[in-house]
Amino acid sequence: TLPTTLNGNTMLLITMDTASEVENDCKVNKVGHSHSHDSWPLCLVEISLDVDADRDGQVERNNPNKGSWMWGPNGHGAILLVNCDSERTYGKSICEMSDLKDMSPMVLRTSGPAKLPAGYKLTMHISQGDAESVRVFRTRSTSFVKDYPLVLGSEDLSKEVPYLGGNAEMNFYVEGLRFPDIDFEGLISISLSLLEPSSQGFPETPIFTDRVVFRVAPWIMTPNTLNPVEVFICSTSDNYQFLKGMKRLVENSGYKLKVCHEYMNRGDRWMQDEIEFGYIDSPHQRFPVVLDSPRDGELQDFPYDVLLGPDFGYVTRTAYDEEVSSLDSFGNLEVSPPVIVNGKIYPLGRIIIGVAFPTATKGRNMTKVVQDFLWAQKVQEPIALFSDWLLVGHVDEFMTFVPAADKKGFRLLLASPDAGYKLFRGLQKDGHGQAKMFDGLGAEEEITVDEILSDDKLRAENNYVQSCIDWNRDVLKRELGLDDDDIIDLPILFHVMEENRAVAYYPDMVNMIVLGKNLGIPKPFGPKVDGRCALEAEMTSLMEGLGLSCTYIDDFASYHKLLGEVHCGSNVRREPFSFKWWNLEM
């Protein structure tokens, strides 16, 4: 009861430090007041919407930073996965318990009387803008079963949630629906308001709102320096030799080989080009996610029908208004190992794509929808190289990365016509001018070292190719912070076809599969010296210095002649980075 000396200019600040045990268990009595009622009822309810804002996998109690998101090891803010695997069809209710693990837990903690004062209620709500990116489910226990009804989604931006009374916790599960993209930074808010009844006929008004923020986890690619998990290749009617070579390599290396059979691939052998393996990660869950190319060859059903499954996610981008070109195949989408560039650290490496050189009057490009998606993931800031000089137009035709124990932990391998000519001139000088390339592949293929070196047109073509690769070499040095010592030039010649676009002259050794210390390299069928292929010898010698072992795989008829090689015809799912993307300093 307050003193009677209060006048109309006094403001009362009333604080309560314990939640009410019964409704309106405190009152402020008014003395000598003209109004009909002579006390104000008071009721204290503690409400906290809680998430894992400190990123330790547990939902802590009322983290002061839960309403904002900050990058870095000293950062904060909860993380949401796009639930893009397939524990269920896209229904409104959760069927499998395992599906809950893909969602971010969220807890509503309340403390107060058994029920709220008449007319008060709790409402959870999201904004219209966030509604296409998130759904919220809750746990409901009935006497027989637990179920998980949908609380919020695009059809319900706001819903009352029950107030349980006493000290209660209600569990929610938050599901991401969309990856970051050009029109979606990835941040999502969920609010919980206590609504107060108004006088007759007026809407209820919020008197307290608690808010939590999530960031949707980006899709992350895995470079050649990460350990393989499984290798994917296609079986076709004509690639038995290749399949056998690959099988031996993969099994000897100790990894799992998965073969996509012809009923599924319908002759499309370009396993690299239809898909890119990546993953998504959060403190509570992590799983692989395949990015499906808008290329859509005959392999197009494979990622959705075969790869997508429980704890294996799927995402794609569709080019509605754009022409899809060969540059949209994911042989044109690679990622570097971790690098430091002018002091800036990229602990997850940088994505590498190939586009048209901008001074070209007309050129092919990777579609904007895919480029936008890649840039929006943010954590592996992309680099655009110039790949349109190639007939097929993929960056994996002239570059790859291999692990190394020294220096930066890897080397960049580049196709180099200059290195090729140097090797051939050396052979000629040492008296092997009559040694034959393509020996044993049929008379029409064979050509001597002397003939190659005397072909001025081929030399001019390779000068052009070298200048295209050199420009990319400069970009890679600058954007990955590389020195010349970090780069190894491989002896590879090209020739130039229609529209001045280049293809490999013999199997393109840089287009390899990297399985730990074992490399699967297209067998180049180079000129033999003392019975040994001079190109293999040079390649093996270059890689031996790094402790890497080379296996040459005959892909001549079934891949090389169709303008691809070992890398184009395979794909590797790798272990994720141990580095956590949310610890990036942005």
> Which residues, 6 or more positions from 87, have their beta carbon under 8 angstroms from its beta carbon?
95, 96, 98, 99, 102, 310
| Beta-bridge partners for 277 | 290
Least distance (Å) between residue 124 CB and its own copies: 9
**Type of residue numbered 535:** L
533 a catalytic residue: no
- CB neighbour class for 335 (10 Å; exposed up to 12, middle 13-18, buried from 19): buried
Residue 426: CB partners within 8 Å, gap ≥ 6?
none
Q: What angle do CA 270, 271, 274 make, to 5 degrees?
A: 90
Residue 246 or 543: the one with the smaller Cβ distance to its own copies is 543
Using alpha carbons, select from 88, 105, 84, 107 the residue that is nearest to residue 96.
Answer: 88
- For the chain, how many residues are written? 586
Bridge partners for 529 per DSSP: 532
CB 280 to its own copies: min, Å: 24
Q: Which is nearer to its own copies, 131 or 289 (CB)?
A: 131
Contact 280, 313 (CB under 8 A): yes
Distance from C-alpha of 175 to C-alpha of 395, rounded to nearest angstrom: 35
CB 236 within 8 A of CB 269: yes
Which residues form the interface with its own copies (CB under 8 A)? Answer: 8-9, 123, 125-129, 157-158, 182-183, 191, 193, 195-196, 198-209, 357-361, 365, 368, 389, 422, 425-426, 429, 460-461, 463-464, 467-468, 470-471, 474-475, 496, 500
- Token pair, residue 579, equals 């580095």
Give the whole-angstrom CA distance, residue 558 versus residue 305: 25
| One-letter-per-residue 3-state SS of 132-177 | CCEEEEECEECCCCEECEEEEECCECEEEECCCCEEEEEEEEEEEC
Sign of CA dihedral 501, 505, 510, 511: positive
Query: Active-site residue numbers?
Result: 568
